[in-house]
């Protein structure tokens, strides 16, 4: 079996249908992680898999105008950074470093609002204080893992995710959902496929982006033959320093592409009145 077909089949099994153009495989893009180098692993993913479907219009406008950009990362323990060796090794902290490298002339703040053990209803209960009050330009919402681990009914989660997305859109912020991690304790649960399908449907229905963390990590293990201990902590659930840094690298690449793609589109189709500094450079 060719490498391209292996990637395609694994991604489809992970519930990420439609990320590849009909019959055409895009070669994976090798992206060096900010994590300490490992002789066993290279941080990469297929370019079409990590590409965000919808441009990040609000983020693009802020970057093009030279205005500060505020990103709120809300989620449970894998946003808070459980499994990392220190708080600055969480994915939001590593993402802040990644975006600073990609946009050195922009002031981008990434606020970590992850709380251990939370499910979607818990996050919604603090949306006003943890998300809306920060006036974000972009919200990264990691959700779904704890509901799967606890064998909770999945249907209510879909409705609650849609409610949360509506709240974020109402303040004009961009939205990227992030699905569960591919880790031993997660994949042991039969409900995981249902959660992946639910999140994919919720993102599609709301016309927002989904960052397919599960499919990316599954490729590392099933296609690249990385042992779980390369990217998962000893608890068999949370990512380790390398895993968090690689996710941040890939997500940073996706955000940068979706933001610059959006900025170009806005400037060409809508005119400079949408961007006070339309001549400002983008990266």
- Asked if the 3-13+46-265 domain carries CATH number 3.40.50.1110, the reply is yes
Tokens of 206: 């709301």
pTM beyond 0.85:
no
pLDDT at 40: 58
SS3 210: strand
Spell out the residues 6+ positions from residue 12 whose beta carbon is closer than 8 angstroms to its own: none
144: left (phi over 0), alpha (psi -120 to 50) or beta: left
Give the chain's residues under pLDDT 70.
1-40, 262-283
Contact (Cβ atoms closer than 8 angstroms) between residue 240 and residue 83: yes
CB 64 within 8 A of CB 266: yes
What are 103's two structure tokens?
């946009």
- Give me 256's structure tokens: 């940068």
Instruction: Check residue 262 and give its pLDDT.
Output: 53
Give tens-digit pLDDT for 160-206: 999 999 999 999 999 999 999 999 999 999 999 999 999 999 999 99
The residue ranges of every structural domain in the chain are 3-13+46-265
């Amino acid at each position: 079996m060719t490498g391209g077909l292996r990637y395609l089949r694994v991604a489809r099994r992970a519930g990420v249908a439609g990320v590849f153009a009909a019959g055409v495989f895009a070669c994976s893009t090798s992206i060096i992680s900010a994590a300490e180098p490992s002789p066993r692993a290279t941080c990469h993913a297929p370019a079409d898999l990590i590409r965000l479907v919808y441009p990040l219009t609000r983020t693009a406008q802020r970057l093009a105008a030279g205005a500060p950009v505020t990103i709120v990362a809300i989620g449970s323990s894998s946003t808070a950074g459980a499994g990392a060796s220190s708080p600055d090794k969480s994915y939001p902290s590593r993402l802040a470093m990644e975006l600073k490298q990609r946009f050195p002339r922009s002031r981008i703040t990434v606020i970590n609002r992850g709380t251990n053990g939370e499910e979607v209803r818990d996050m919604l209960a603090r949306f006003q204080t943890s998300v809306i009050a920060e006036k974000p330009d972009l919200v990264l919402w990691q959700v779904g893992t704890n509901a799967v681990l606890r064998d909770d009914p999945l249907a209510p989660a879909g409705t609650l995710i849609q409610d949360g997305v509506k709240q974020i859109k109402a303040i004009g912020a961009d939205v990227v959902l992030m699905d569960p991690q591919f880790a031993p304790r997660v994949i042991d649960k039969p409900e995981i496929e249902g959660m992946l399908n639910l999140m994919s449907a919720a993102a599609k229905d709301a016309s927002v982006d989904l960052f397919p963390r599960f499919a990316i990590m599954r490729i590392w293990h099933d296609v690249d033959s990385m042992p779980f201990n390369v990217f998962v902590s000893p608890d068999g659930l949370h990512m380790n320093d390398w895993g968090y840094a690689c996710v941040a690298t890939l997500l940073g690449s996706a955000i940068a592409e979706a933001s610059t793609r959006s900025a170009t589109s806005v400037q060409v189709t809508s005119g400079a009145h949408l961007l006070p500094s339309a001549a400002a450079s983008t990266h």
